[in-house]
A and B are shown apart, each in its own frame.
Chain A
Amino acid sequence: MTGLEKGGRATVGGGPLLLGVRHHGPGSARAVRAALDAARPRVVLIEGPPEADTLIPLAAEEDMRPPVALLAHAVDEPGRSAFWPLAEFSPEWVAIRWAVEHEVPARFIDLPATHTLAWGKDEGAGERPGEGVGDGDGAGSDAGSGAGSGAGPGSEAGSGAGPGSDAGSGAGPGSDAGSGSGPDSDAGSESGPGSDAGSGAGPDPEAGSTAAPAADADVRIDPLAVLAEAAGYDDPERWWEDVVEHRGSAEGDAFAPFVVLEEAMGALREAYGSGGHDRALVREAYMRLQVRAARMEFEDEVAVVCGAWHVPALRQKTAVSADRALLKGLPKVKTDMTWVPWTHRRLSRVSGYGAGIDSPGWYGHLFAAPDRPIERWMTKVAGLLREEDRIVSSAHVIEAVRLAETLAAMRGRPLPGLGETTDAVRAVMCEGSDVPLALVHDRLVVGDVLGEVPQSAPAVPLQRDLDRIQRRLRLKPEALERELELDLRKETDAGRSRLLHRLRLLGIGWGEPAVSRGSTGTFRETWRLRWEPELSVRVAEAGVWGTTVFAAATAKAEADALGAQALADVTGLAERCLLAELPDALPVVMRILADRAALDTDVGHLAQALPALVRSLRYGDVRGTDTGALAGVAAGLAERIFVGLPPACAALDADAAEEMRRHVDAVHGAVGLLADVPAPRHGDLRGRWHSVLRVLSVRDTVPGVIRGRTVRLLLDDGELGQDEAARLMGLVLSPGTPLADAAAWIEGFVGGGSGGGMLLVHDERLLGLVDAWLTGVPADAFTDVLSLLRRTFSAYEPGVRRTLGELVRRGPGERRGVTAAGSGIPGFADGLDSARAAAVLPVVRLLLGLGEVTQGAEGNGVDNNLAGVAG
């Protein structure tokens, strides 16, 4: 404890000025600024990767606007990366700015990223299983990309690393933990207790950042939680807010808060040691060495800004050799660093890319507001609600402020916090409703702030990844437009297709799909390629989505799915995900698809979506993707259609009925394909569809065209006997039925895409029914049904029409059947002359290839191929 007393009293005299902070704490940030102003050190040391030292001057540039993040990535493997996000209210950012403004050197002193990234590499395979569970904070949030990290080099890490920094916030070298963990995105963004603990540990970012070693996940302690518990708070976050963030701007001793905090952390570390943060020991050893080096140079006029948890360790007196020993033999990987723009949304936990704070907008407000933060906040909220056309008067603002302050007093808090202000806004301005409140949360509490980095910042890893892939696939970006034919059965071409589809998802329109010439097979694709210079800018913009094309496209597809409004948009997206082969994005897209489908009340929409889905299933088959989830969703969609179709078919006008008939046809086709795909829940999909058709076929409120169609479909599937079909037809064509309805029934039964009139040719009983009905139509009504009938029959092939005409002229129904001879068609003999017919047989055999065994085999092969092409 002697050390910290020194630090407290003699900030400049007795040692370096150690400023323990909570990452992303506005109170800490303010305190750091005040302390730096008071101490005026000659060098500022900041917790962060030293590779970024050269990037610090960029912070002074005009067009550098937080939130931004330092991005470290392995040169050979852009997917292996880590982020250090910095917001305007981050103490580290404040320290950087202070140093730049006062022309004092600033240095990062944390363990170099070259080691921390290599750490992640070692663990990539070994420790992954534990991570998803153990540290929901750091690793779990990996945006659903964990799968197959071994195969796709770091592909997952791109998205993984970001979230890793969740709790790691400013510090998180451990954010590399992302590189292989958290198999599902839910785990991250909602990992509840896990992430709360880690990120609540504000002053101890390492709780999250050292997340990588999953093994010790459960023994790590959350220092803030311990302190808060000691103070009688159940919510560490709230305790920290009350004690640190909500204290007014530092009055009096600028160093006092740091002394108090250091004392608390010191006590904690005495009790808990490293608290399970084993890697922190190594990092602290490195930091100690750096601080020592800085003191050699600048004596004691050194200020260190680091997580509060580290302060006692940095104060500790240890032998240089012991520290060196700890650092021996660390793995290394070649890394590169740059600044990337960041957003408030990513700073928040909600996005799954969180840096561990719920309310960046609120913190930003606390940091920026010169005084009366609550009044200013309420005014902001009122402004937002007014923009959205809610009536909010100044009186509302006054009452909301009063309520918030009284609530805080009742809850025994020094100042209203976010909880109190939110409660007050809900009760006073939102009339108790959470709907406008969600808007406030989204726009203000989280906020839409987007950072910017100067042009001179080094290239983003996404560009490097793209370059690599372009080289590998021998696909050069050329300004000249050209067409590219791809045969998806070839490995390279399939890779090219995937790349182009992924880039399209990212909004990088390098290639546009064109209509294939000749073949329409699913294994062929044609693209029109053209590289415009501004596409480079697009690539830089897309850099926020991830560090590799794969990871970025995955993240973008997921975000698009979340934002998609219409059901058809999501199905389209699912199709594109399959084309771009983004298996990790698929579960999210499927979940949203299922949600949208569940809430869509229009059966038409569902019926439109189903064929597209089934089509996707088939694409998936061609490309060998796993489509189990897709099949499940498709089955669910079909289920909803089955339930919704009968009521939706009632009371339709002619146009709507015609459209619904097309839907019925489409669903019929889709169900046929779907039932062939083995998947859970499919069960007797076809059987249930048939029972739906049966319901439709006999329900009088269903328009004739649909009823006729359903009878025909049932008949074709062998679900309905000829007799039953004839009975149903007889019912419809009996005199009581309105003529238009009957004509529509006939249209549905034998018209349109139902295989022409061959049915009528072969089943004369049906023809007889139609004939009898038609001759019974009164003359004055005949013109009414004529147009419908004309539409039905004129679509037939000439041969069918002629045969029908002949049959009708002879009088249908009089002949038993075609084979029963009797009176044949005029111009033909009654019986079959088998001798003359037999003369054709050799030619037919030759055509069919049935003459010889060997030929037969070949013939079959050809046959199959043809079928394959057609498919």
Chain B
Amino acid sequence: MSVSVEPTTVEATGVLAKEPAEALRPHAEDAFAGELAALAAQDDRPRPARWKLSPWAVATYLLGGTLPDGTVITPKYVGPRRIVEVAVTTLATDRALLLLGVPGTAKTWVSEHLTTAVSGDSTLLVQGTAGTPEEAIRYGWNYAQLLANGPSRDALVPSPVMRAMAQGMTARVEELTRIPADVQDTLITILSEKTLPIPELGQEVQAVRGFNLIATANDRDRGVNDLSSALRRRFNTVVLPLPESVEAEVDIVSRRVDQIGRSLDLPAAPDGIDEIRRVVTVFRELRDGVTSDGRTKLKSPSGTLSTAEAISVVTSGLALAAHFGDGVLRSGDVAAGILGAVVRDPAADRVIWQEYLEAVVRERDGWKDFYRACREVSA
């Protein structure tokens, strides 16, 4: 499978580079080519072998800033500086990097931009699924060539990881924990010996300086293939947190809801921001297990309650308001969505939700309508 996939990917990249405007979603290196060039021009700090930028400039690229010549670098990742610094430094120490986090914490986004800034190419990507075969990580064969000419380097189809090793680039493995454990373990040799043997040819591909690997994994999903400790030991782990403040999260949610709403041709809701704030507050409080004023502890329900879910609650609320209501997002429109997101386990979560309603929502000023709406849907 990978045999056929690889060439097309390469080709597709070529097309994209020529006509970025046509792509539904251009690669980071194309979308931010200007910023990368400006950074590279200004960057006078030492660069590790085959890095396009110095570690410092990579961190600036992700976190944003203003260069001495006035070029503004937009922040790609909004979050603790520490996290980006540790991630970049890890890549510089030739240790592999594992980005962990609940869904919707920008793991893939960060890994794409890291590879872009470090290697200038974010396309050396292996998407992890339950069906990812070993060939996707090591190499496959072009069977026509193999049958016609016997095993040779020409008949070998390299995987993105193999190409990254040969060229000293950064490879990406998405959703590492979804890959079956035996396939995961093929990474051990690559990460510890920095070599990929090809026993069929009696050869090996040795990693060139500059090679490294970024993996992402979801730490909240159940039923995934946990990493073996041998593999885990080869990664430095960075956990990407959920947004730190209510304001940041409200901002993310409203911006994203706005985008989605436009693509669904929903009429713009005039006063939605208050309800969005309410949804975000409810999600954050239940997720953190403490009220926003820090006074009251709460139990946390079993669901993730990620920012992504808050976005979908608000979007469906908007759709309700637009099609069945008066076009204004009201508590009644989001209450059912919230209930669905919070109460995943009908027994335990319902108690948690009702406790929250009675102990927190009922007492809160200006939340009367919301309390009533929630009572209605919970009853």
Which residues of A does B touch, CB under 8 Å?
391, 393, 395-396, 399, 402-403, 406-407, 410-411, 419, 423-424, 426-428, 430-434, 591, 594-595, 598-599, 601, 636, 639-640, 642-644, 647, 681
Assess the B90–A427 pair: CB atoms within 8 A: yes
Contact with A along B66-108 (1 / 0, CB 8 A): 0000000000000000100110111011010010100000000
A399 to B89, CA, bound (A): 12
Interface residues of B in 344-379 (CB under 8 A from A): 347-348, 350-351, 354-355, 358-359, 363
Is there a chain A Cβ closer than 8 Å to B299's Cβ?
yes
Given contacts A594-B297, A643-B355, contact A399 B93 (CB under 8 A): yes
Selected from B89, B95, B233, B347, the residue in CB contact (under 8 A) with A410 is B89
Is there a chain A Cβ closer than 8 Å to B237's Cβ?
yes
A246 to B228, CA, bound (A): 38
Assess the A403–B238 pair: CB atoms within 8 A: no
Across the interface, which residues of A come within 8 angstroms of B236, CB to CB? 399, 403, 427-428
For this complex, 21 residue pairs linking A to B, each with C-beta atoms less than 8 Å apart, are A399-B95, A403-B86, A403-B89, A403-B90, A410-B88, A411-B85, A423-B86, A427-B238, A428-B95, A432-B239, A433-B239, A594-B296, A598-B297, A598-B298, A598-B355, A598-B359, A640-B355, A642-B358, A647-B347, A647-B351, A681-B363
Assess the A406–B89 pair: CB atoms within 8 A: yes
Assess the A598–B299 pair: CB atoms within 8 A: yes
Interface residue SS majority, chain A: helix
Assess the B93–A406 pair: CB atoms within 8 A: yes
Count residues on chain B whose CB falls below 8 Å from chain A CBs. 36
Interface residues of B in 201-257 (CB under 8 A from A): 229, 232-233, 236-239
Is there a chain A Cβ closer than 8 Å to B59's Cβ?
yes
Assess the B93–A595 pair: CB atoms within 8 A: no
Chain B, residue nearest A598 (CB)? B297
Across the interface, which residues of A come within 8 angstroms of B347, CB to CB? 647
Assess the A410–B355 pair: CB atoms within 8 A: no
A601 to B236, CA, bound (A): 36
Chain A, residue nearest B229 (CB)? A391
A403 to B238, CA, bound (A): 13
Is there a chain A Cβ closer than 8 Å to B120's Cβ?
no
A644 to B236, CA, bound (A): 43
A681 to B296, CA, bound (A): 14
Residue of A406, A423, A595 contacting most chain B CB atoms (<10 Å): A406
Assess the A595–B238 pair: CB atoms within 8 A: no
Chain A, residue nearest B357 (CB)? A643
Given contacts A406-B93, A432-B98, contact A427 B298 (CB under 8 A): no
Across the interface, which residues of B come within 8 angstroms of A432, CB to CB? 98, 100, 237-239
Across the interface, which residues of B come within 8 angstroms of A599, CB to CB? 289, 297, 299
A402 to B92, CA, bound (A): 10
Across the interface, which residues of B come within 8 angstroms of A591, CB to CB? 295
Chain A, residue nearest B100 (CB)? A432
A595 to B363, CA, bound (A): 17
Chain A, residue nearest B298 (CB)? A598
A430 to B229, CA, bound (A): 12
Assess the B299–A647 pair: CB atoms within 8 A: no
Give, as a whole number of angstroms, the nearest-CB distance from B347 to chain A. 6
Chain B, residue nearest A404 (CB)? B89
5 more contacts with CB within 8 A, not counting A393-B233, A403-B86, A639-B355, are A432-B98, A434-B239, A598-B297, A601-B351, A643-B351
Across the interface, which residues of B come within 8 angstroms of A431, CB to CB? 100, 232, 237
Across the interface, which residues of A come within 8 angstroms of B350, CB to CB? 647
Across the interface, which residues of A come within 8 angstroms of B90, CB to CB? 403, 427
A110 to B354, CA, bound (A): 60
Which residues of B does A touch, CB under 8 Å?
55-56, 59, 82, 85-86, 88-90, 92-93, 95, 98, 100, 229, 232-233, 236-239, 289, 295-299, 347-348, 350-351, 354-355, 358-359, 363
Selected from B237, B297, B348, the residue in CB contact (under 8 A) with A427 is B237
Assess the A410–B59 pair: CB atoms within 8 A: yes
Chain A, residue nearest B87 (CB)? A427
Give, as a whole number of angstroms, the nearest-CB distance from B3 to chain A. 35
Give, as a whole number of angstroms, the nearest-CB distance from B25 to chain A. 28
Across the interface, which residues of A come within 8 angstroms of B233, CB to CB? 393, 395-396
A849 to B359, CA, bound (A): 50
A434 to B82, CA, bound (A): 14
Assess the B299–A407 pair: CB atoms within 8 A: no
Assess the B86–A407 pair: CB atoms within 8 A: yes
Closest 10 CB pairs of A and B: A432-B237, A432-B239, A598-B297, A595-B297, A427-B236, A431-B237, A643-B354, A407-B89, A406-B89, A643-B355
A294 to B350, CA, bound (A): 75
Across the interface, which residues of A come within 8 angstroms of B82, CB to CB? 419, 423
Assess the A639–B98 pair: CB atoms within 8 A: no
A773 to B287, CA, bound (A): 52
Across the interface, which residues of A come within 8 angstroms of B359, CB to CB? 598, 636, 639-640
Selected from B92, B348, B351, the residue in CB contact (under 8 A) with A406 is B92
Chain B, residue nearest A640 (CB)? B355
Given contacts A431-B232, A432-B239, contact A403 B93 (CB under 8 A): yes
A391 to B232, CA, bound (A): 11
Give, as a whole number of angstroms, the nearest-CB distance from B350 to chain A. 7
Assess the B86–A598 pair: CB atoms within 8 A: no
Given contacts A393-B233, A403-B89, A601-B299, contact A410 B358 (CB under 8 A): no
Selected from B55, B351, B363, the residue in CB contact (under 8 A) with A644 is B351
Assess the A410–B238 pair: CB atoms within 8 A: no
A424 to B90, CA, bound (A): 9
Across the interface, which residues of B come within 8 angstroms of A406, CB to CB? 89, 92-93
Give, as a whole number of angstroms, the nearest-CB distance from B39 to chain A. 15
Chain B, residue nearest A393 (CB)? B233
Chain B, residue nearest A408 (CB)? B89
Give, as a whole number of angstroms, the nearest-CB distance from B7 to chain A. 36
A411 to B82, CA, bound (A): 10
Across the interface, which residues of A come within 8 angstroms of B363, CB to CB? 681
Across the interface, which residues of A come within 8 angstroms of B296, CB to CB? 594, 598
Across the interface, which residues of B come within 8 angstroms of A402, CB to CB? 93, 95
Chain B, residue nearest A683 (CB)? B362
A407 to B354, CA, bound (A): 46
Give, as a whole number of angstroms, the nearest-CB distance from A412 to chain B. 8
Given contacts A393-B233, A643-B355, A647-B350, contact A410 B239 (CB under 8 A): no
Assess the A410–B85 pair: CB atoms within 8 A: yes
A432 to B97, CA, bound (A): 11
A167 to B233, CA, bound (A): 42
A589 to B59, CA, bound (A): 45
Across the interface, which residues of B come within 8 angstroms of A595, CB to CB? 297
Give, as a whole number of angstroms, the nearest-CB distance from A578 to chain B. 22
Assess the A644–B95 pair: CB atoms within 8 A: no
Across the interface, which residues of A come within 8 angstroms of B55, CB to CB? 410
Residue of A423, A595, A598, A681 contacting most chain B CB atoms (<10 Å): A598
A601 to B302, CA, bound (A): 14
A598 to B89, CA, bound (A): 41
Across the interface, which residues of A come within 8 angstroms of B354, CB to CB? 643
A430 to B233, CA, bound (A): 10
Chain B, residue nearest A400 (CB)? B236
Across the interface, which residues of B come within 8 angstroms of A423, CB to CB? 82, 85-86
Give, as a whole number of angstroms, the nearest-CB distance from A564 to chain B. 14
A591 to B294, CA, bound (A): 11
Give, as a whole number of angstroms, the nearest-CB distance from B262 to chain A. 36
Give, as a whole number of angstroms, the nearest-CB distance from A518 to chain B. 43
Across the interface, which residues of A come within 8 angstroms of B238, CB to CB? 427, 432
A594 to B294, CA, bound (A): 12
Chain A, residue nearest B88 (CB)? A410
Residue of B86, B239, B289, B299 contacting most chain A CB atoms (<10 Å): B86
A424 to B86, CA, bound (A): 8
A434 to B241, CA, bound (A): 11
Across the interface, which residues of B come within 8 angstroms of A410, CB to CB? 55-56, 59, 85, 88-89, 92
A296 to B82, CA, bound (A): 55
Across the interface, which residues of A come within 8 angstroms of B299, CB to CB? 598-599, 601
Residue of B95, B229, B348 contacting most chain A CB atoms (<10 Å): B95
Give, as a whole number of angstroms, the nearest-CB distance from B359 to chain A. 6
